[in-house]
Structure 1
Amino acid sequence: MRRRSGLAGAGVAALVWGEWLNRRWSRVLVGDSSGGPEAVVVLGYRNPQATANLINRWRVRAGIRSVAVGSTQDTRVILSGGATGMGATEAQLMADYAKSVLGFQGTVLLEDRSTTTWENITNVIPLLEGVDRIRIASQPAHALKARAYLRRQRPDLAAKLVRAEDYRPGEWVLAKPLLALYGLWTLRGLTSAERKGRP
């Protein structure tokens, strides 16, 4: 009985830890600016099949729900991801999903050359000029990594970063401990200041 309760307690602790860490990552390297046109950047994930995969579908949904209420006309949704197979690019597959399945009717721009997160940021920079707010939508650790890369490449644009709606309590709750472990591994290349949001 004690062993079962100990395992249950460890499981609950893992879920709480995963939830806490993903929430924390979603709030690092972002400000709170408001008003004016914005850009929501959705980062693609390996997609060799002919339709958007589970992760890309979720990222598109997170990106679209990140569009501020009432600002659809002032927002450009930038879908970023190159070809990972013989077919369409990640960006195109995500655009097809956003329009045909989710019915999104706002402005959609495609960046279809990137194969790494660093390239995602490098290649979307020209599409970010002239906006007042920038949101990057992905799994929280991945989005933090992308925000850190933007800060390295264009600190002036990074100053416009605000939080995307890519973290919600209870969403992907069972996967969050694994996402947290993977996130710790992927963020190992960031400095301590970048991971904690310090200047």
Structure 2
Amino acid sequence: MLRKTLVFLLPFGLAAWGEFVHWRASRAQVRDRLPASSEAVVVLGYRDTGTVRANVLNRWRVRAALRSIDANLASSVLVCSGGSGAASVPEAALLARYAVTECGFTGTVLHEDQSRSTWQNIENVIPLIEQVDQIKIVSNPLHAQKGRLYLRHQRPDLAERLVRAADYRLGEAWPVKPFFALYGLRDLARCRRNLAGK
């Protein structure tokens, strides 16, 4: 009986753990809000090999970025970041295309299409976000936390403008959250070790 109970509860425990890890990551190294009239919402691309349409993970990231935009601000810009990698079309172009043609976004879109890593994503978007009052970095929450960690290392002054995005929702994609949590925590630990050695 105990074994059956444990087998039954294990998936719920893993799901709850995944939710908690993502919830905590979405609130790490950010403020809830700032007095602001302008913002940049930076969406980070992920290993897209498509030439016409962004992959499923990148489409989710775009939707999370669009719901992160504060409609009450005078100016919001969507910054799509990602180079071509294994594909002939840069991730940034696929992200922007999905935002505009399939999600109906009509605001300002900027492209950063040279980066091949998260470090380069952040490094290369800096000239595009320096003038705004607040910055949101959007990806799955643990990857976004990695991006914020890199911004804090590269430009601590800009990191003070980081505010929370809407890339975490309770129950969204819950079956894969434990796997993303495990990978993301290991990746963050590796990044922190690497940064400590610089």
TM-score interval (norm. to shorter)? over 0.9
Q: For 1:109-137, what per-residue CA distance to the aligned partner results, in whole angstroms no more than 9, with x for missing partners?
A: 00000010000000000001110000000
1:121 aligns with 2:105: no
2:170 is equivalent to residue 169 of structure 1: yes
Match of 2:59 in 1: 57
Whether the 8 Å CA contact 2:48–2:87 is kept in 1: the answer is no
For the pair 1:107 / 2:119, whether they are aligned, the reply is no
The equivalent residue for 2:3 is 3
Q: Which residue of 2 aligns with 1:82?
A: 83
Q: Which residue of 2 aligns with 1:26?
A: 26
- Rounded Cα–Cα distance in structure 2 between residues aligned with 1:52 and 1:110: 15
- Tell me, in whole angstroms, the C-alpha distance in 1 between the residues paired with 2:71 and 2:7: 43
Report Cα offsets for 1:48-88 as digits up to 9, x if no partner.
122100000000000010001333x5001000000023421
C-alpha displacement of 1:101? 0.2
Deviation at 1:11, TM superposition (A): 1.2
Q: Is the 8 A contact 2:48 2:91 kept in 1?
A: yes
**TM-score of the superposed pair, with normalisation by structure 2:** 0.93
**Structure 1 CA distance, aligned partners of 2:46 and 2:180?**
14
How far does residue 184 in structure 1 lie from its aligned partner after superposition? 1.1
Describe the superposition over 1:165-184 as per-residue Cα deviations: whole angstroms up to 9, x where unpaired: 00010101111111110111
1:148 aligned partner? 149
In structure 1, list runs of 5 or more residues that go unmatched: 195-199
Q: What is the CA-CA distance between 1:190 and the residue it aligns to? A: 4.1
How many correspondences in the alignment? 192
State the AA in 2 paired with 1:68.
D
Distance, in Å, in 1 between the alignment partners of 2:67 and 2:160 is: 22
Shift, 1:36, TM fit: 1.2
Partner of residue 197, structure 1: none
RMSD between superposed Cα atoms in Å: 1.5
TM-score scaled by length of structure 1: 0.92
Q: Which runs of 4+ in 1 moved over 6 A?
A: none
Q: Whole-Å Cα distance in 1 between the matches of residues 191 and 29 of structure 2?
A: 12
Aligned amino acid, residue 150 of structure 2: Y
Give the C-alpha shift of residue 35 in structure 1.
2.2
Q: Structure 1 residue 34: deviation in Å?
A: 3.0
Distance in 1 (alpha carbons) for counterparts of 2:174 and 2:86 = 30
Task: Give the Cα–Cα distance (whole angstroms) in 2 for the partners of residues 77 and 4 of structure 1.
Answer: 49
Per the alignment, residue 48 of structure 2 pairs with 47
**Compared with structure 1, are the counterparts of its residues 70 and 152 closer, same or farther at alpha carbon in structure 2 (3 Å cutoff)?**
same
Mapping 1:178-197, distance limit 5 Å: 178-191=179-192
Q: Which shows bigger deviation, 94-103 or 30-39? A: 30-39
Aligned counterparts of 2:145 and 2:78: Cα–Cα separation in 1: 18
Q: Give the Cα–Cα distance (whole angstroms) in 2 for the partners of residues 171 and 106 of structure 1.
A: 26
SS in 1 for 2:175: coil
